[in-house]
Amino acid sequence: MTYTSPFFSNTTGYSGEVGLLDDLVREQIKLFGVDILYMPRKMLNLDKLLHESSKNAFEMAMPIPMYIKSFDGYDNGLEALTKFGVRSSDELTLQMSRSEFTTHYAPFLKSYYNSNAGRQETSELNRLEGETAARPKEGDLIYFPFDDGIFEIKYVQFDQPFFQLGKGYVFEIQCEKFEYSGATFSTGYDSVDSMAVQPDYFRLEFNLEQGEGTFLQYEEVILYSMLDDDPVVDQEAFRLYKDPGFLNKVPSVKGKVMYWNLPDKTLTLSDLSDMDPTQEGEYPLEGAPEMGKDLDRNKFDNVMIVGQSSGSIWYSEKAHTEEKAFDDEIVIQQEFDKIKIVDIQDDSPFGFF
* 105, part of any domain: yes
pLDDT value, residue 281: 47
275 with 310, same domain: the answer is yes
Residue 63 lies in a domain: yes
Model pLDDT, residue 141:
92
Amino acid 47: pLDDT: 75
Same domain, 167 and 207: no
Same domain (yes/no): 134, 107: yes
Report yes or no: 318 and 212 within 8 Å, Cβ to Cβ. Answer: no
Alpha carbon distance 109, 63 (integer Å): 13
pLDDT of residue 12: 60
- Do both 148 and 206 map to the same domain? no
Q: Do residues 165 and 13 make contact, with C-beta atoms less than 8 angstroms apart?
A: yes
Examine the domain organization and report whether 24 and 43 are in the same domain: yes
Report if residue 62 sits inside a domain: yes
Of 161, 178, 194, which residue sits at a domain end?
194
* Global pTM exceeds 0.85: no
DSSP string across 210-243: EEES-PPTT-EEEEEE--TT-SSS-TT-EEEE-T
Q: What is the per-residue pLDDT for 312? A: 92
Q: Does residue 126 form part of some domain?
A: yes
Residue 351 lies in a domain: no
Task: Give me the count of residues in the chain.
Answer: 353
86 with 188, same domain? yes
The structural domain count of the chain equals 2
pLDDT tens per residue across all 353 residues of the chain: 777 776 766 666 677 788 888 889 899 999 998 999 999 988 887 777 777 777 888 988 999 999 998 777 777 666 666 655 666 678 889 999 998 999 889 888 898 888 888 888 888 888 878 788 888 988 899 998 888 888 999 999 888 888 777 788 899 999 988 888 778 888 888 888 877 766 667 788 899 988 999 999 888 899 998 875 444 444 567 777 665 556 678 888 888 888 898 888 999 988 888 776 555 444 444 444 444 444 456 778 889 999 999 999 999 988 887 776 666 666 776 677 666 655 555 555 554 44
- 3-class DSSP assignment, residue 322: coil
- The answer to whether residue 245 sits within a structural domain is yes
Residues β-bridged to residue 254: 222
The verdict on 62 and 148 lying in the same domain is yes
Helix-strand-coil percent breakdown of the chain, rounded to 5? 15, 35, 50
Question: What's residue 127's pLDDT?
Answer: 81
Beta bridge partners of 217: none
What's the domain range around 162? 15-194
51/181 same-domain check: yes
Residues 206, 302 within the same domain: yes
Give the domain-ending residue among 139, 166, 194.
194
Q: Which of 18, 93, 98 is nearest to 64 (CA)?
A: 98
For the chain, give me the number of helices (H) and strands (E)? 5, 21
Question: Is 108 among the domain residues?
Answer: yes
94 & 169 share domain: yes
Same domain for 246 and 171?
Answer: no
In this structure, are 174 and 232 located in the same domain?
no
Distance CA 310, CA 211 (A): 13
**Last residue within a domain, chosen from 194, 228, 262:** 194
Phi, psi of 64 (to 5 degrees): -130, 130
The answer to whether position 353 is within a domain reads: no
